Amino acid sequence: MSEQHLGRGDTAVITGAASGFGLELARLCAGRGMNVVLADVQADALARAQHELAPLGAALLPVRLDVSKAAEVEALAVATRERFGAPHLVFNNAGVGAAGLIWEHSAADWEWVLGVNLMGVAHGVRVFTPLMLQAAARDAGYEGHIINTASMAGLVSMPNMGVYNVSKHAVVTLSETLYQDLSLVSEQVRAHVLCPFFVPTGIAHSERNRPQNLTDPGAQPTRAQVFGRAMTDKAVSSGKVSAADVARFVLDAVRDDRFYIYSHPKALGSVQLRLEDVVQQRNPSDPLKDRPEVRQQLRTALRGG
């Protein structure tokens, strides 16, 4: 996609648009004069985002929704089509975080995290891809891109991050399959996957948006969960690459038609090690081997001494 296609009059749909990567993407797209569909579960944050972006002069469509709900994402697609037509960029970006040993996650944990992180992406792909393919069939000049937010946790399997790892690995393979499937039917609609490492966003505090029916009343967090949340919060808050940086990386990757998008390319060594384990039939290597102090802290916290 050339730079001129990422501009005035085109439409971007962004889930998780009220904070983090989503808000930074919205700022960039609005600044380029694009129509921006702002979708988020937080009504108050959504209103603040709309208020901030309005002076840029872009056409905005704020939509409060829960991406884990199929009907709500379907309604988002209908609202987008009625207001702007088929979108040119779809960012399936909404996500939540969770920590803890994999057997400690409750049924509600699994339903919440997979509902947002995986099914939110699946619903977005399911409802927007047909609109984009229809637009491509009508207009030889149309070009569309679907960008799914996964994580480096979708390429490696860090300890004490079980349900999150599972959700993000699923998003990576969903995106790779989408790329392959689209290549069979169109040259005009493309897929990408974003795999950020630790970047300052609001994901470390995503419990604030957890539905009441998917909480465990009275349940006390385990030692592993407490430690995991603290470590994640520290790592995310101290990240040197900002959400704004990542948003720019994403639009550059779309322009250059790159599928895999990374915030921290230097972290790919752990991905290579994992893939070598798979190919060479080795037992899984320690993904924390270059950070032995973190593993020791985790072992100490879990074993109580």
- Among all residues, which ones are annotated catalytic? 164
Across the strands, what pairs with 247?
Answer: none
CA 243 vs. chain centroid, Å, equals: 12
Which tokens hold the place of 19? 């904070």
The type of residue at 112 is W
Name the token pair of 278. Answer: 């798979």
Question: Which pair of tokens denotes residue 286?
Answer: 């320690």
If we measure between CA atoms, which residue out of 155, 149, 89 comes closest to residue 120? Answer: 149
224 in Cβ contact with 160 (< 8 Å): yes
Sheet of 11-15, strand order: 60-64, 35-40, 11-15, 89-92, 144-149, 189-195, 260-262
Helix, strand, or coil (residue 291):
coil
52 by DSSP, 3-state: which?
A: helix
